[in-house]
Chains A and B, each alone.
Chain A
Amino acid sequence: MKRIVVIVGALVLGIGAVMAQQDAVKNAQTFMKGNGKNAGALAAMVKGEKPYDQATVDTALAQFEETAQKLPTLFPDSIKGLKADGDYSSSPKVWEDKAGFSEHITSFGKVVSEAKTQIKDLDSLKATFPGIGKQCGGCHETYRVKNS
């Protein structure tokens, strides 16, 4: 009886751990998707598809800032090597090159907080937004892989 309890307990714990891992993967992905959605909203204004809207800008920048703060905790060691559903997964380099990865995060945070003071109208958005996009790409170049 005791043995069964231990086994079942271990299984439940194990499943729980796996689910927690999957949740962590999903969590990171949700954050990134949120960034993408906000970046897309800003890009639509830069491209002239939508009129300039300060509220949209503020929402986007607030979310970028939150991401920059949370990024260091979004990729715990427990999710190393896990494949996410959808188009992309994180590269093992996230964990193999932690110093490089956190450098990118710091740089992203810096650019975002500068952007918060700079973006006031369409012209300043046009001037500043590509710099944010470069941060996204700069990190994705090395630390994200496309699923096959």
Chain B
Amino acid sequence: MVRRIFLALVVAVVAGLAVFWWLTIPAAVSSDMLPAYTPNIANGLTTFNAGGCSSCHAVPNQPDRLKLGGGLAVPSPFGTFYVPNISPDMADGVGRWSEANFVTAVLKGTSPAGTHYFPAFPYASYQHARVEDIRDLFAYLKTLAPVSGRVRDHDVPFPFNIRRNVGIWKFLFMDGKPFVPDAGRSASWNRGAYLVNSLGHCAECHSPRNFLGGIISAQRFAGGPNPEGEGWVPNITQKGLADWSVKDFAYFLETGQTPDGDSAGGSMVRVIKNTSELPPGDRDAIAEYLKSLPPVDGPPRPPKKSAG
């Protein structure tokens, strides 16, 4: 009897491990899945700015946003991530990567070595991007100056440091669906929806997350505690920004100035550096889409601490 229970347990554990293994196999795009294509470098630049790559990958504390040597520390409840070098450097950057490696990294969150990236890299949003945009982006990155220097390893404690577990996270929080335009809306609205939900990855900061670090989809864009530490990320649905006109949104994305004359602060300053470089039509499209977001209540703010 004991033996039978033991055997059953062993079978269950092996089956469990097999399911875990199968669920967590890192997805990849192979080069034969990519049809012949001539990249459009101008669109690669737009993708670069819409994707906010420079916000995290630029070398911190220096003015050149195209110096993509990485190194920025990104604190999170799961540990501190150090942003990698994505300059075209042959040794330390993406210089030796194939196009398929790059597409896989951005759309699937899988490294060239076949391991999962941590979702601090916002591939849960990028997965919705058009593959052509990502191919253009790769071509654009190749035109930038290589920056040498390998960035240190992430400082992520057990059990979050087991990358295979990220496969479960992906299974839970990524749907793998490409962006589908809404035929009932204008082309501009759809462009905005695409930019916000894929490349722009706005929801990554402007949504509350559950204890596993997944976005609570019912409260998407409704703000929440700052995942990087102090403060609160604003609700950008019409619950929070009902008094902003479409023009106000566009102007904010261009200049960082809110309708009441206030300016963006914190990480949003880096975001504005990117959106201010976008073609005006893209900013207008984002504005049109954001203005259309239904009002959603965000998580309650903790009671205000008294001063002192």
Is this pair of chains taken from one and the same complex?
A: yes
Tell me the A residues contacting B by CB distance below 8 Å. 18, 21-22, 25, 35-43, 46-47, 82-85, 88, 91, 129-130, 133-134, 136-138, 140-141, 144-148
CB–CB A22/B307 < 8 A:
yes
Distance between B73 CB and nearest chain A CB, rounded to angstroms: 14
Tell whether, in the assembled complex, residue B261 and residue A141 are in contact, meaning their CB atoms are under 8 Å apart.
Answer: no
Q: Which residues of B contact A22 (CB under 8 A)?
A: 307
**Which B-chain residue is minimally distant from A85 (CB atoms)?**
B307
Contacts of A88 in B (CB 8 A): 265
A139 CB to closest chain B CB (Å) equals 8
Cβ of B165 to closest chain A Cβ, rounded Å = 29
In the complex, the answer to whether B257 meets A148 with C-beta atoms within 8 Å is no
What is the count of residue pairs linking A and B with beta-carbon distances less than 8 angstroms? 95
Residue of B nearest to A83 (CB): B307
B205 to chain A, nearest CB (A): 12
Question: How long is the Cα–Cα vector from A145 to B248 in the complex, in angstroms?
Answer: 22
In-complex Cβ contact of B269 among A18, A41, A85, A140 (8 A)? A140
A107 CA / B51 CA spacing, docked (Å): 29
**If the complex has contacts A40-B260, A47-B251, A88-B265, are A137 and B272 also in contact, measured as CB distance less than 8 A?**
yes
Bound complex: CA A145 to CA B228 (Å):
12
Of residues 217 through 271 on chain B, the ones whose CB sits less than 8 Å from some CB of chain A are: 225-226, 230-234, 247-248, 251, 254-267, 269-270
Asked if B256 and A134 make an inter-chain contact with CB atoms under 8 angstroms apart, the answer reads yes
B225 surroundings in chain A (CB, below 8 A): 148
In angstroms, Cα B307 to Cα A82, docked, is: 6
- Say whether A140 contacts B263, CB under 8 Å: yes
- State the main secondary structure of chain B at its contact with A: loop
Interface string of B116-133 (1 = CB under 8 A from A): 000000000000000000
A22 CB, min distance to chain B CBs, angstroms: 6
Q: Are B261 and A41 in contact (CB under 8 A)?
A: yes
Q: In the complex, which residues of chain A have a beta carbon less than 8 angstroms from the beta carbon of B304? A: 83, 85, 147
A25 near B307 with CB under 8 A, answer: yes
Chain B residues closer than 8 Å to A21, beta-carbon distance: 308
Q: Which residues of A contact B266 (CB under 8 A)?
A: 140-141, 144-146
Interface membership of B35, Cβ < 8 A? no
**A140 to B265 Cα, complex, angstroms:** 5
Whole-angstrom CA separation of A46 from B174 in the bound complex: 41
B155-206 residues with Cβ-Cβ distance < 8 A to A are none
Flag B262-287 by CB within 8 Å of A: 1 or 0 each: 11111101101000000000000000
Task: Give Cα A116–Cα B308 distance, bound, in whole angstroms.
Answer: 39
Partner of A137, one of B233, B261, B263: B263
Complex A-B: 18 CB contacts under 8 Å? A22-B307, A39-B257, A39-B263, A40-B257, A40-B260, A42-B261, A47-B251, A82-B308, A83-B304, A83-B308, A85-B304, A88-B265, A130-B254, A137-B263, A137-B265, A137-B269, A147-B232, A148-B301
With A137-B269, A148-B231 as given contacts, are A35 and B255 in contact (CB-CB < 8 Å)?
A: no
Q: Which residue of A is nearest B276, CB measured? A: A130
Do B232 and A36 have beta carbons less than 8 Å apart? no
A22: nearest chain-B partner, CB-CB: B307
Q: Which 5 A-B pairs have the closest CB atoms?
A: A40-B261, A140-B265, A39-B261, A136-B263, A141-B269
Would A40 and B259 count as touching, CB distance under 8 A?
A: yes
**Interfacial chain A residues near B3, Cβ < 8 Å:** none
Cα-based distance from A137 to B252 in the complex (angstroms): 11
